[in-house]
Structure 1
Amino acid sequence: MHSRLDACFAAAREEGRSLLVGYLPAGYPTVDGAIAAMRAMVEAGVDVVEVGLPYSDPTMDGPVIQDAADAALRGGVTTRDVLRTVEAVATTGAPTVVMTYWNPIDRYGPARFAVDLAAAGGAGTITPDLPPEEAGPWLAASAEHGLDSVFLVAPSSSDERIRRVAGIARGFVYAASLMGVTGARAEVGEQAASLVERVRAATTLPVAVGLGVSTAAQAAQVAGFADGVIVGSALVRVLLDAERRGLGEAAALDGIRALAADLAAGVRAAVPASA
């Protein structure tokens, strides 16, 4: 049975393009404010939404995402708030996944989290620190409730590791374009295209590239060789800058729409290598 992510990637493929994945953390600047920002992203052309579950001990997040997540945690955001966010965003029709470290799911209860995420309309999860060797129980719970489980590979991943990840992943494989934490970069990692080729040698799943994409030109570059383009820090920075400058919610949402539309235009203007 095809999932919502499968259908979304298939639809983009039919259009001869890559798709755009946008990330924002739940609870920043407020729970309702984050929901509004995510819905604005979809209105502007984002195909898939990543809802970040703020966590106190991130290993992959760069300073921009950490700042927003820390503010959300200080504001009292909970896992239940994250699920409410998923429910509100999923009503747009865009597949909505939760990007989370494993500890919050483990504390919430994996079986319970799968039930509640599915009930909220979530499409799946991205778990950057869950080793494939330990993922069995989560894969079973996810599959039982029709959720996709997305895993990461990096330029340092061996071919054996890529095959192992590709063998258990569902929805798509997340290819980190470079080593290190999230954050906008002047250039996308040079190893990204070769990493996508290595993943494609191991699976027919779509491959989406994240880490470092912040402009329409970079989005177009990545869309030329990947099935999906993932943008996080650049979008989060729009909300952070709006708050630091004392701008209101309307201005912040206008900024999100403008950047998302620009990125979407870049993605749609590219000609995928597979086309």
Structure 2
Amino acid sequence: MSSAKSLTGPDDEPIRFPDNLNSPLSIFAFDGAFKISRSLSPGAADALMQHAKDAVVRSAGKPYEYQRFKLLSVEDANSVAWKSPDKSGFYTFKDGTTVSFIADLIPEQKTLEILGSLRVRGDGEVPSMPGVCLPGLFIERDGPDALRNVGVTFRLREHPDVLIFFHDLKVLKDQPRLTSRQKNEFVWTSEFGVGKTVKLHGVFPWRTVKLDGREGVGSFATITRRDNSTDYGYLVTAQGDLDAAADTPDLLLYVERNASASQGKSPVTADELEKIGEEIAASIKRR
């Protein structure tokens, strides 16, 4: 989840695992940017929201309109919502979870609707109603969303050297449309910066793999790190469809071995990592 520090200012590692290790690649965006933390006490959460209220009051004296904020009316005593000419957002504290939200250029009513539809979600809980799951949260929604960019990084308890990243990106009209293979190649060559060199396995390294029942492109690689150590990665990408009748996002699954994070256990082999990746890919489905 988001670090407590990231809720009050910049943090070089804003999303972390419970043991405070960095959670790379993760991003929580749904109609705006979310920060979600269980690290704040009720008193610290109250102080955060009071600071937000004070900042809104102080903004009234700012010289330019874009610098001025106003508070929005909310019924929940543990929440504060605000807007400026081009942004809106809120802070809320629910059942031990602190949430901040900020969005560009969406109506203030939509921000309030998101706040009202938000509830804390238990680990592993799969809600039965339509909506979007974020770590520790559920946003009930039965209609289309304007933006969805949700990527969550996992670690395996049995194999701490294995990192799993799953990404769901809503297809938008103005974003580049990469085919599954183009996206796969882009991730290996530049997007994630996984190492000094990446060598794909096989004479024909691109294979057909399904994510959510859709045909995607899979590949497996040996990664040479910048310190010349060797690791492995398994990647599957599936292209979304803007014109599909059902919501059909870009999907990405990346499973990586990082032997330096094995915590004294034997790192998984290349074959074991590939098998883990294949099993996870086969399990992914929209609920």
Common fold, TM-score beyond 0.5?
no
More helix by share: 1
Q: Give the TM-score of the pair, scaled to structure 1.
A: 0.29
TM-score normalised according to structure 2 size: 0.28
Higher strand share: 2
Higher RCO (CA < 8 A, seq sep 6+): 1
For the pair shown, the structure with the greater C-alpha radius of gyration is: 2
